[in-house]
Amino acid sequence: MITDRSQVTALIQSAKITKGIKWSEIAEVVGQSKEWSTAACLGQMAMTKEQAEGVGALLGLTDEAVAWLQIAPYKGSLPTEVPTDPLIYRWYELVNVYGTTLKELIHEEFGDGIMSAIDFSMDLQREEDPKGDRVHVVMSGKFLPYKMY
Amino acid sequence: MITDRSQVTALIQSAKITKGIKWSEIAEVVGQSKEWSTAACLGQMAMTKEQAEGVGALLGLTDEAVAWLQIAPYKGSLPTEVPTDPLIYRWYELVNVYGTTLKELIHEEFGDGIMSAIDFSMDLQREEDPKGDRVHVVMSGKFLPYKMY
Amino acid sequence: MITDRSQVTALIQSAKITKGIKWSEIAEVVGQSKEWSTAACLGQMAMTKEQAEGVGALLGLTDEAVAWLQIAPYKGSLPTEVPTDPLIYRWYELVNVYGTTLKELIHEEFGDGIMSAIDFSMDLQREEDPKGDRVHVVMSGKFLPYKMY
Amino acid sequence: MITDRSQVTALIQSAKITKGIKWSEIAEVVGQSKEWSTAACLGQMAMTKEQAEGVGALLGLTDEAVAWLQIAPYKGSLPTEVPTDPLIYRWYELVNVYGTTLKELIHEEFGDGIMSAIDFSMDLQREEDPKGDRVHVVMSGKFLPYKMY
Amino acid sequence: MITDRSQVTALIQSAKITKGIKWSEIAEVVGQSKEWSTAACLGQMAMTKEQAEGVGALLGLTDEAVAWLQIAPYKGSLPTEVPTDPLIYRWYELVNVYGTTLKELIHEEFGDGIMSAIDFSMDLQREEDPKGDRVHVVMSGKFLPYKMY
Amino acid sequence: MITDRSQVTALIQSAKITKGIKWSEIAEVVGQSKEWSTAACLGQMAMTKEQAEGVGALLGLTDEAVAWLQIAPYKGSLPTEVPTDPLIYRWYELVNVYGTTLKELIHEEFGDGIMSAIDFSMDLQREEDPKGDRVHVVMSGKFLPYKMY
Amino acid sequence: MITDRSQVTALIQSAKITKGIKWSEIAEVVGQSKEWSTAACLGQMAMTKEQAEGVGALLGLTDEAVAWLQIAPYKGSLPTEVPTDPLIYRWYELVNVYGTTLKELIHEEFGDGIMSAIDFSMDLQREEDPKGDRVHVVMSGKFLPYKMY
Amino acid sequence: MITDRSQVTALIQSAKITKGIKWSEIAEVVGQSKEWSTAACLGQMAMTKEQAEGVGALLGLTDEAVAWLQIAPYKGSLPTEVPTDPLIYRWYELVNVYGTTLKELIHEEFGDGIMSAIDFSMDLQREEDPKGDRVHVVMSGKFLPYKMY
Amino acid sequence: MITDRSQVTALIQSAKITKGIKWSEIAEVVGQSKEWSTAACLGQMAMTKEQAEGVGALLGLTDEAVAWLQIAPYKGSLPTEVPTDPLIYRWYELVNVYGTTLKELIHEEFGDGIMSAIDFSMDLQREEDPKGDRVHVVMSGKFLPYKMY
Amino acid sequence: MITDRSQVTALIQSAKITKGIKWSEIAEVVGQSKEWSTAACLGQMAMTKEQAEGVGALLGLTDEAVAWLQIAPYKGSLPTEVPTDPLIYRWYELVNVYGTTLKELIHEEFGDGIMSAIDFSMDLQREEDPKGDRVHVVMSGKFLPYKMY
């Protein structure tokens, strides 16, 4: 019996590694970007019935696991407030080093408000570079102004 | 007497607000992007002598403050591990929600390693959109593979 | 010299107590609800030039303080992650006890997404009750669905 | 053998997802609001014998689980002090941003004391809006003045 | 200028030590128990105008300090989540060791709910004992049942 | 095999709920107050052989569990530094709000030292009150003066 | 004006370093062991009037500082839960590594209870050793059995 | 299969309680002091082959457990930074209250450096006393001066 | 079924201890340094197919475990932010004591930037010394200057 | 008046930056390595009278500051448990990623014990490399075996 979404994430990770399937192949089945599809598999997004059944078929999940994939999960993918994994830590470091900079520049351009993390999309690509290839990430989030009332 | 770089940051913030100067105007004096220049003013980057003197002249800083701007600062711009400010929190949330996704996709494309937060640049623009303008951010960081030895 | 918005909050608190002014009187000068106006005075919202000058005149603030009131502040009004003040703690307790309930019911009604804390308004009133008056709070936040991409 | 109330919560979540039952259906069986009933199922309230047996029959729980539902549980539904789930975090953010505002306004209206989180009720509804539907929440808590002695 | 209630607490502590005044003498001026009066002086309760003026006269406080004493303070008298002072720690230890016991026994007697910390009084006395005098504390808090709705 | 005292606590909780036994009934078997007996069952006190065997017989525990009941346990009954359960939190709040008051009054009466949490007893009773019954708790702890040497 | 005992500790440290006085010299004036006297100077014990005046005369403290020395201080001499200073950390490490050992051996010898940290004394001496001198510490604390009631 | 040293500690605790063996009896088999032997059994020291086999025979451990006893363990015997168990907490309190005193007195006697927690021994004895027996602990650690280079 | 890389680490530790294999023997099979090979076995590096199969054959791991060894793991080998193990703590202490020194000296020699922990190698050797052998560690990390843009 | 060693560190930093002096120049005056000398200036080591007077003369410190430099300081140079500065964080990351590796390899070579952080030296050099210069660090710490007793 599955009692927690993180168990489904573990099942997906295990099946993916044993079967040697790539995230981009899963994304094709899901029919969305590799970024959204991976996040959904890792317990951060809720799938539609069709998406969940597609992933279930590809990875050999039970009906119960497929049902859990359609539920909005308790989000947050990191085990500690400050991530210990070096790849993920670099992103935390960017928020720490550039956080006040992002705040100042967005406020200068848009006024008081935030950049949405919900009405948001992300695209990650390899950027070829003779001095060493780069990770090129584009993020786009709707600006939401604070409401006065 | 200045005994801590954060005092210089406070002086800059205070002068900028009182004089009504914009970060983009400061960036022109610095001669670098608005992202790097703002981060440098907020105590996250070290300026060259010319850059520091330019900022000092624009904002009316003392020679002592200008000397501090040229020293590599103790970085980290947030007062708590989890930021409380909603704008900056959304970025922390993105790292929390998408952290394992970024990890999986970068490893799938590049193998084990990290995206550098040092050999890194960022560009933030307004993206016009009839459903509400968006914050459009491009990040580019060199991929650094783990060395085997 | 003011180097931090929290200094302006302290000035406002001090002037308000010494002069015996009420938040509802300040709200009239601001021209917005008592909820938004109080939050703005306590360093959580940015005022327009007119609002800031009105508050400055009422409380006898300097031009420098009035300039700071127009800047989007670093938000977060609590000194610790878990508030120690009993009145504020009860709200934290409600989030702790009812957090998963709110999540389940909003997802059941709207699907995956969040209730905005930015496009948000709040109204607090006394609700007379023979068994003891009650605090009656209405909150309204726009539902933002997670974008698929 | 059940040794912890959180196991009952997991059983309920699992049965609800597998059977495709809604919280509002459970609330009908419980005979209370959907807010109270959901909180009770998620381990935050104690049910009466009748309520517990009704829920047990609907979801197919064992007698042991039904017995646990009638015990006042160790409350607190969040795994971390600061919630990582974006929907729940927005509520924590409201407490953080508006906490001192709520404190000031309640004290101004009622004097020193608190709004009860025990003699408390909550109602959550969809508020239709052409610019995007809203989550409309009404909270009502008895004001409790500090006793002088 | 006073910008924080903790400054008033420090002024009271300093005046009390320099003048050699006892808490019981202050309580007489306040006209309430020594427990409530001490808590009020230490920034945990709001005084009436008469009480504040009495304390102000006794200790030689300024009008500004007397005004602050009448404001409901941001409560919480300990600098850390777990107190380091051995006397106060013993109380934290009692909550830690006996917390679940108090919970079980109150629920067994009263059902689900809490013992109020607001509608609450406390009396502390010396209990003479040939084997060594004891601290005898009586606490009385109203039981508040969870409301079903 | 039992490898941790908390497993015995879980066994006791489970048996007590399934059999519908009250703490006061257990206390009769133990032959001590309901406060001490409950704390002992919840893993905070060590029982004598007779007490442990009595509890074991009443609740149907194995010999191994009965042996563990006689061992001084690793004490501390709360899962987090700040308790999340509202009933227990109110006690933590009392320590937080009244901690410095208790310290001042005990020192004023007894000098430097502590109130023992070991040579300590507690009695919890229902106090009938027309405005709502109250929880009445008497605590008595030996005063221990700091030794000079 | 002194508003906090830690200010007195700072005054003592500063005077001691500037005047080149040793703790053992201070202890002679206090008339107690060097361990108790140092702890008292560092804000962990309350002095008698005579002791405080003696220290005040030796170090040139004001009457106000001498008054503070006679007040039971808010104890706890470390700035963080886990000390960063290597000398003090080794003691924390001993508690961490040997904590359960001390617990087991004291319980085996005495039964359930504690070793008092209040009715306690300590003596620290140099122990000459050809392989390198050693720090020799003797601690003696009264055993306090848990009271059954 | 044993995958963690803490499992061996649990096996030892369980066997010791079930068989009613004392730490001093185990120490005799180990051939070292009761302090070192207990710490080794509780996962803080590595045993020799002979010591491990002796303990294994006495307590009926498997060969696998005996192999684990000979591996240097990941040390640290407490589940939280600040111990909750009252007996162990008193030791943490001593470090907190006397930490700066120990630092000052060791530096006064020996100069800058530390008392080793590795080249260290401890002896715990009952000290009979008509006013109540005492726990008498002698600690001896080599002084290690900071190296200049 | 393996659902987490830490399970593979536990399998490796268990097999290594039971079979009595050394890290240097594993390193020979891996064909890299003992430092890199040990880190890879402990879940901090990703192996090639050949390396993973070699380790699998030596230690008798399943195909599933061998598949997991080739996946970039979620890194971070310590259970707490501040390590409790004395050997590892000394390294944390070095970072704490010498951290600002390393920062100053690297900036003085190289300017603003970091020493890479990815393009990094380490060599640990026994350094014989008549006063007691020493641990001799050489670390080499590429200097990465902050990019201006 | 100086009441804390960190004030001396701030004075040194300020004088060094204003006068444009290098750490290597300070080290020459101290007569020790640049690593030890920098650590001593940053409040991590105690200087001899001659060293302190030399630094005082070079940087223009007062006699009081020179006296403080000769006192063993409360060590620990980082403001948070996990450092936020990227250069220092990389060292923390090395401890986190390689901590268990260092432990395994030192134990394999030396048995149970630690590498001393007191009888320790460090040398940091630029290592020229056509692919980008490297930071080359040699650390040497005496191995201290755990004493059996």
Residue E1: the pLDDT is 85
Whether the Cβ atoms of residue G9 and residue G41 lie closer than 8 Å to each other: yes
Confidence band of C1 (pLDDT split at 50, 70, 90): confident
* Other residues' Cβ atoms within 10 Å of the Cβ of residue H132: 12
Tell whether A75 is covered by a domain. Answer: no
The b-or-e profile of A63-95 (16+ CB within 10 A means b, else e) is eebbbbbbbbbbbbbbeebbbbbbbbbbbbbbb
Return the structure tokens found at F114: 């502590």
Tell whether F94 is covered by a domain. Answer: yes
Return the structure tokens found at H38: 């207990």
Each residue's pLDDT tens digit, B92-123 = 999 999 999 999 999 999 999 999 999 999 99
Instruction: Give B-chain residues touching D93 at CB under 8 angstroms.
Output: 84, 86, 89
* Other residues' Cβ atoms within 10 Å of the Cβ of residue F49: 11
Whether the Cβ atoms of residue D46 and residue D73 lie closer than 8 Å to each other: yes
* Helix, strand and coil in chain H, % to nearest 5: 50, 20, 30
Query: Which of the other chains make 3 or more beta carbon contacts under 8 angstroms with chain F?
Result: C, D, E, G, H
Contact across the interface for D114 and C75, Cβ inside 8 Å: no
Taking each helix axis from N to C terminus, what angle separates B23-30 and B49-59, rounded to the nearest 10 degrees? 140
Query: Which of the other chains make 3 or more beta carbon contacts under 8 angstroms with chain H?
Result: E, F, G, I, J
Tell whether A77 is covered by a domain. Answer: no
Provide mean pLDDT across the span H44-51: 97
Give the separation between CA J141 and CA I127, rounded to whole angstroms: 9
Whether the Cβ atoms of residue A64 and residue A2 lie closer than 8 Å to each other: yes
Each residue's pLDDT tens digit, A77-129 = 999 999 999 999 999 999 999 999 999 999 999 999 999 999 999 999 999 99
Provide mean pLDDT across the span C107-126: 97
Each residue's pLDDT tens digit, C62-95 = 999 999 999 999 999 999 999 999 999 999 999 9
D90 classed as catalytic? yes
Give the separation between CA F63 and CA C64, rounded to whole angstroms: 75
DSSP per position, J13-81: HHHHHHHT--HHHHHHHHTS-HHHHHHHHTTSSPPPHHHHHHHHHHHT--HHHHHHTTSPP-----SSS
Instruction: Give the range of the structural domain holding residue H97, as residue numbers without chain letter.
Output: 86-145
Each residue's pLDDT tens digit, G30-86 = 999 999 999 999 999 999 999 999 999 999 999 999 999 999 999 999 999 999 999
Pure H helices in chain D: 5-19, 23-30, 34-41, 49-59, 63-69, 86-110
Instruction: Give J-chain residues touching B2 at CB under 8 angstroms.
Output: 14
Among chain I residues, the shortest Cα distance to G90 is held by I86
Of the candidates G93, G101, G124, the beta carbon closest to that of H117 is on G93
Tell whether G77 is covered by a domain. Answer: no
Provide mean pLDDT across the span B35-52: 97
Give the separation between CA J24 and CA J33, rounded to whole angstroms: 8
* G abuts J (3+ Cβ pairs < 8 Å): yes
Residue B105: the pLDDT is 97
Q: Which residues of H touch E (CB under 8 A)?
A: 82, 84, 86, 89, 93, 96-97
What does DSSP assign to residue I70? T
Residue I3: the pLDDT is 87
I90 classed as catalytic? yes
Confidence band of F1 (pLDDT split at 50, 70, 90): confident
Question: Bridge-partner residues for I115, per DSSP?
Answer: I143
Question: Bridge-partner residues for A134, per DSSP?
Answer: A127, B142
User: In a structure prediction context, what are the per-residue pLDDT tens digits for chain E, which is 149 residues long?
Assistant: 898 999 999 999 999 999 999 999 999 999 999 999 999 999 999 999 999 999 999 999 999 999 999 999 999 999 999 999 999 999 999 999 999 999 999 999 999 999 999 999 999 999 999 999 999 999 999 999 999 99
Give the separation between CA B92 and CA B99, rounded to whole angstroms: 10
What is the torsion angle, in degrees rounded to the nearest 10, for the CA atoms of residue C19, residue C22, residue C23 and residue C29? Answer: -80
Residue G1: the pLDDT is 85
Q: In Å, how far is E143's CA from the nearest CA of chain C?
A: 15
Q: Are residues C92 and C125 in the same domain?
A: yes
Provide mean pLDDT across the span I85-104: 97
Each residue's pLDDT tens digit, J100-149 = 999 999 999 999 999 999 999 999 999 999 999 999 999 999 999 999 99
H or E stretch at F135: strand F134-145
Nearest to F29 by CA among F61, F57, F6, F4: F57
Contact across the interface for C82 and F86, Cβ inside 8 Å: no
Contact across the interface for G17 and J71, Cβ inside 8 Å: yes
For chain A, percent of residues with pLDDT exceeding 70: 100
Q: Are residues I58 and I92 in the same domain?
A: no
Instruction: Give F-chain residues touching H13 at CB under 8 angstroms.
Output: 3
Q: Are residues G50 and G100 in the same domain?
A: no
The CATH number of residue H139's host domain is 3.30.1160.10
Task: Tell me: pLDDT of H66 over 90.
Answer: yes
Give the separation between CA F23 and CA H89, rounded to whole angstroms: 29
Confidence band of H52 (pLDDT split at 50, 70, 90): very high
Give the separation between CA B41 and CA A86, rounded to whole angstroms: 27
Question: What is the C-alpha end-to-end distance of chain J, expressed in Å?
Answer: 48
* Helix, strand and coil in chain B, % to nearest 5: 50, 20, 35
Confidence band of I77 (pLDDT split at 50, 70, 90): very high
Q: Are residues G92 and G126 in the same domain?
A: yes
Instruction: Give C-chain residues touching A103 at CB under 8 angstroms.
Output: 72, 74
Whether the Cβ atoms of residue F68 and residue F47 lie closer than 8 Å to each other: no
Residue A130: the pLDDT is 97
Q: Are residues H19 and H49 in the same domain?
A: yes
Residue F55: the pLDDT is 98
Contact across the interface for G67 and E18, Cβ inside 8 Å: yes
Instruction: Give I-chain residues touching H4 at CB under 8 angstroms.
Output: 10
Whether the Cβ atoms of residue G33 and residue G23 lie closer than 8 Å to each other: no
Return the structure tokens found at B92: 């922390």
| Contact partners, residue D111, CB within 8 Å, separation at least 6 | D145, E46, E72
Tell whether F100 is covered by a domain. Answer: yes
Each residue's pLDDT tens digit, C17-68 = 999 999 999 999 999 999 999 999 999 999 999 999 999 999 999 999 999 9
CA–CA distances in Å: residue E124 to residues C82, H24, H30: 29, 45, 52
Q: Which amino acid is at G102?
A: L
Q: Are residues D65 and D102 in the same domain?
A: no
Return the structure tokens found at J106: 């030192």
Strands of G134-145's sheet in order across: G113-127, G134-145, H134-145, H113-127
Active site residues of J: 90, 93, 116
Q: Are residues B48 and B95 in the same domain?
A: no
Residue G111: the pLDDT is 96
Confidence band of G143 (pLDDT split at 50, 70, 90): very high
* Strand, coil or helix: C114: strand
Confidence band of D122 (pLDDT split at 50, 70, 90): very high
Q: In Å, how far is B75's CA from the nearest CA of chain D?
A: 24
Q: In Å, how far is D74's CA from the nearest CA of chain A?
A: 19
Count of structural domains within chain B: 2
The CATH number of residue F64's host domain is 1.10.260.40
Whether the Cβ atoms of residue H139 and residue G137 lie closer than 8 Å to each other: yes
Active site residues of C: 90, 93, 116
Question: Bridge-partner residues for I140, per DSSP?
Answer: I121, J136
Contact across the interface for G74 and E82, Cβ inside 8 Å: no
Q: Which residues of B touch J (CB under 8 A)?
A: 1-4, 64, 67-68, 71-72, 74-76, 78, 81, 117-118
Q: Which residues of D touch F (CB under 8 A)?
A: 1-4, 64, 67-68, 71-72, 74-76, 78, 81, 117-118
CA–CA distances in Å: residue A143 to residues A36, C111, C141, D134: 20, 22, 16, 18
Tell me what the pLDDT averaged over chain H comes to: 97
| Contact partners, residue F56, CB within 8 Å, separation at least 6 | F62, F63, F65, F66, F69
Each residue's pLDDT tens digit, D51-90 = 999 999 999 999 999 999 999 999 999 999 999 999 999 9
Contact across the interface for E82 and H82, Cβ inside 8 Å: yes
Whether the Cβ atoms of residue J41 and residue J12 lie closer than 8 Å to each other: yes
Of the candidates A68, A81, A118, the beta carbon closest to that of D17 is on A68
Q: Are residues D54 and D93 in the same domain?
A: no
Of the candidates J101, J107, J126, the beta carbon closest to that of I109 is on J126
- Map chain E to HEC letters: CCCCHHHHHHHHHHHHHHHCCCHHHHHHHHCCCHHHHHHHHCCCCCCCHHHHHHHHHHHCCCHHHHHHCCCCCCCCCCCCCCCCCHHHHHHHHHHHHHHHHHHHHHHHHHCCEEEEEEEEEEEEEEECCCCCCEEEEEEEEEEEECCCC
Nearest to D55 by CA among D17, D10, D25, D92: D25
Provide mean pLDDT across the span D23-35: 98
Q: Are residues I62 and I92 in the same domain?
A: no
Instruction: Give F-chain residues touching C86 at CB under 8 angstroms.
Output: 93, 97
Among chain H residues, the shortest Cα distance to E89 is held by H93
Provide mean pLDDT across the span A24-33: 98
Return the structure tokens found at B66: 């200008």
Nearest to C2 by CA among J81, B54, B11, F60: B11
Whether the Cβ atoms of residue A95 and residue B83 lie closer than 8 Å to each other: yes
Q: Are residues H95 and H131 in the same domain?
A: yes
Final residue belonging to a domain, choices G34, G68, G102:
G68
Tell whether H81 is covered by a domain. Answer: no
Tell whether B80 is covered by a domain. Answer: no
Q: Are residues J107 and J62 in the same domain?
A: no
Tell whether I79 is covered by a domain. Answer: no
